[in-house]
Amino acid sequence: MRAKLLLLVSVTFATACKPPAPAEQLDSALSWIGTAEMAGAAWVRHTTPDTYTRQTLELSHETLAQISNDLLKSPPTNADTAALNSVLTRSRGRIARMAALIAAKNAPDFARELDSLRVDHKIAKQSFNSIESKQ
């Protein structure tokens, strides 16, 4: 718990002292959605321990929350803020549910959430790419 809190603090600190460009933020968001997806896929194949997977999903969730916060504060120009917000919120919710499903050892539901997350990942990628190409 403390480790994560401190990591969060350091991430906050890092983001506080140097505001990254929106394009970097978008890449970072995609990176963490990808991380959650990869960790989830590994867990579905029974290759990673429960605790590690849950913690990694929680870490993705928290970092994504931080990134979306920053993104909404200073949204990239030419961006559909509402669409951006909706895809980020949706993936975040899925990741949080996945973390909870691990605790409940509910593999079938977990797999379904993971599939939806994959779809969201693709959508997010497309919309982010179009934002970046417009800039």
Partner 1 sequence: MKKVMEITLGIVTAVGGFLEMGSVATAAQAGAAFGYDLLWAILLGTLCLIFLVEMSGRFSAVSKHTIVDGMRERFGFPFFAIVLIGITVVLFIVLVAELAGIGLSVQILTGIGFPWWAIPVSLAVWFLMWKGTFSLIENGVSVLGLVTICFIVAAVKLHPDWGSAAHGLLPTFPGDQKAKYGFIAVSILGASVSPHLMYFYCSGAIEDKWDESYIPINRVIAGLGMTFGGVLSMGVLIAAALAFRPNGIDVQTFEQTALLMTTALPKWGFFLFAASMLFACLGAALETSLAIAYFFAQGFGWNWSENLAPSKNARFAFTYTVIILLAAVPLLLGIDPFQVTMMSMALTSATLPLAIVPFLFLMNDPIYLGKYRNGWLSNSVVAIVILISFVLAVISIPLEIIGG
Q: Cite the DSSP H helix spans in 1-106.
A: 2-17, 22-44, 50-73, 81-103
- Rounded-to-integer distance, Cα 82 and Cα 85, Å: 5
Q: How far apart are CA 20 and CA 71, in angstroms?
A: 10
Q: Which residues contact 50 (CB under 8 A, 6 or more apart)?
A: 43, 102, 103, 105
Shortest distance (Å) from residue 109 CB to partner 1: 21
Provide CB contacts within 8 A for 129, sequence distance 6+: none
- Nearest distance from residue 38's CB to partner 1, in Å? 5
Please, which of residues 23-82 interact with partner 1 by CB under 8 A? 27-28, 30-31, 34-35, 37-39, 41-42, 45, 47-49, 51-52, 55-56, 59
Going residue by residue from 84 to 123, which x/- string records binding to partner 1, judged by CB under 8 A?
----------------------------------------
Applying CB under 8 A, which residues contact partner 1? 1-4, 6-7, 9-11, 14, 17-18, 20, 27-28, 30-31, 34-35, 37-39, 41-42, 45, 47-49, 51-52, 55-56, 59, 125
